[in-house]
Amino acid sequence: MRWTPSGRGNIDDLRGSSGGGIGRVPLGIGGILVLLVLSWFTGIDFMSLVGNNSVPQSDSATGTSGPVTTTPQEEETMDFVNAVMEDTQVTWDQLLGGRYQRTRAVVFRDAVQSTCGMAESAVGPFYCPGDRKVYLDLSFFDELNSRFGAPGDFAQAYVLAHEVGHHIQTLTGVESQVRQRQAQGGDRNALSVRMELQADCYAGVWGFHANKSGRFQQGKVELDPDDIDEGLRAASAIGDDTLQKRSTGRVMPDKFTHGSAAQRVEWFRRGFSSGDPNACNTFQS
């Protein structure tokens, strides 16, 4: 994957934040497995208490600023995140026209306060519709490689593009419609799966356009031939069935919230093959 640094205009850097008072112990992606297990066996949606389904509690991401200890490799990753965010937004601006409104990636360490509540890095990357921002602890990229066997920069880009996909759902009204249906007694998990699969498809739509040489003049990313395989591995690695097998040794489809590995691969591939957001209507399939 080839990308061009373009400053940090798409990033809110909160790596020096205190996280609003949450303990500073990084849990890693293993923490999210613990939360998933607790949710499956108790019937309580622990993920919604710390992720993007929480009730808004404040006006903006906050935290006490402090010095940031970093490395050249981490700063390069920051530049990469900015480039991918810029490229995805150029794509969606072209696709949606005047309906598109820009988002930003909030990069934090360990914990962060958003308008969707307090969240620790264990929940993984998430999108908060309350403030319309993507949240990311860079340590997730290491976990994606080392624990989930999904290495490569396009695997990381897929994760970001998926979260921007949730931003598209907010802008187009899909997110609010789904929340309303859930509040009215709709199958919460089934609706959540459809939303996540659509975000996977939207990530594929971006990949299609990034793969077209010279497509949008402002683009900051170009794909290499093996990048699609990296994206497919990442989609498969974070399927609900894959996570359930890893944490409990069995698969419980009625507890799915994001879709199986096969479903996530299928919908990412649909977006990547077509480049058309209209091909991503998971609610009619």
- 123, 135 in Cβ contact below 8 A? no
- 144, 155 in Cβ contact below 8 A? yes
Place of tokens 């409104």: 101
Domain assignment of residue 73, yes or no:
yes
pLDDT in tens, 141-197: 988 888 777 778 888 999 999 999 999 999 999 999 999 998 998 788 889 999 999
Q: Which residues of 235-258 are buried (b: 16+ CB within 10 A; e: fewer)?
A: bbbbbbbbbbeebeeeeeeebbbb
- 213, 285 in Cβ contact below 8 A? no
Domain of residue 178, residue span: 2-280
Q: Report how far residue 214's alpha carbon sits from residue 110's, in angstroms, rounded to the nearest whole number.
A: 38
For residue 206, the one-letter residue type is W
What pLDDT sits at residue 91? Answer: 93
Domain assignment of residue 192, yes or no:
yes
What pLDDT sits at residue 181? Answer: 92
Please give the sequence-ordered ranges of beta strands (E in DSSP) within 57-143, or none if there are none: 105-108, 111-114, 117-120, 126-128, 133-137
pLDDT in tens, 128-139: 999 999 999 999
pLDDT in tens, 220-236: 687 777 777 787 878 77
CA 120 → CA 124, 128, 132, 184, 211, distances in Å?
8, 14, 18, 29, 34
Residue 98 above 50 pLDDT? yes
Domain assignment of residue 111, yes or no:
yes
H or E segment and range at residue 18: none
What pLDDT sits at residue 223? Answer: 79
Domain count, the chain: 1
What pLDDT sits at residue 123? Answer: 85
Domain assignment of residue 240, yes or no:
yes
Domain assignment of residue 285, yes or no:
no
Q: Report how far residue 166's alpha carbon sits from residue 197's, in angstroms, rounded to the nearest whole number.
A: 10
Which residues are CB-contacts of 43 (< 8 A; sequence separation ≥ 6)?
Answer: none
What pLDDT sits at residue 285? Answer: 58
| DSSP, res 35 | H
Predicted model pTM:
0.79
Residue 101 above 90 pLDDT? yes
What pLDDT sits at residue 28? Answer: 41
pLDDT in tens, 61-91: 433 346 778 999 999 999 999 999 999 999 9
pLDDT in tens, 206-223: 999 988 754 544 556 877
Q: At what angle do helices 153-172 and 227-237 cross, to 10 degrees?
A: 70
pLDDT in tens, 5-52: 888 999 999 998 755 433 333 334 444 554 554 444 334 444 444 444
Please report which confidence band the pLDDT of residue 239 belongs to, taking 50, 70 and 90 as the band edges: confident
Assign 207 to helix, strand or coil. helix
What pLDDT sits at residue 4? Answer: 84
Residue 254 above 80 pLDDT? no
Please report which confidence band the pLDDT of residue 275 belongs to, taking 50, 70 and 90 as the band edges: very high
CA 132 → CA 33, 128, 166, 170, distances in Å?
26, 5, 9, 8
For residue 49, the one-letter residue type is L
What is the rounded average pLDDT for all residues in the chain?
80
What pLDDT sits at residue 20? Answer: 42
Residue 282 above 90 pLDDT? yes
Please give the sequence-ordered ranges of beta strands (E in DSSP) within 75-182, or none if there are none: 105-108, 111-114, 117-120, 126-128, 133-137
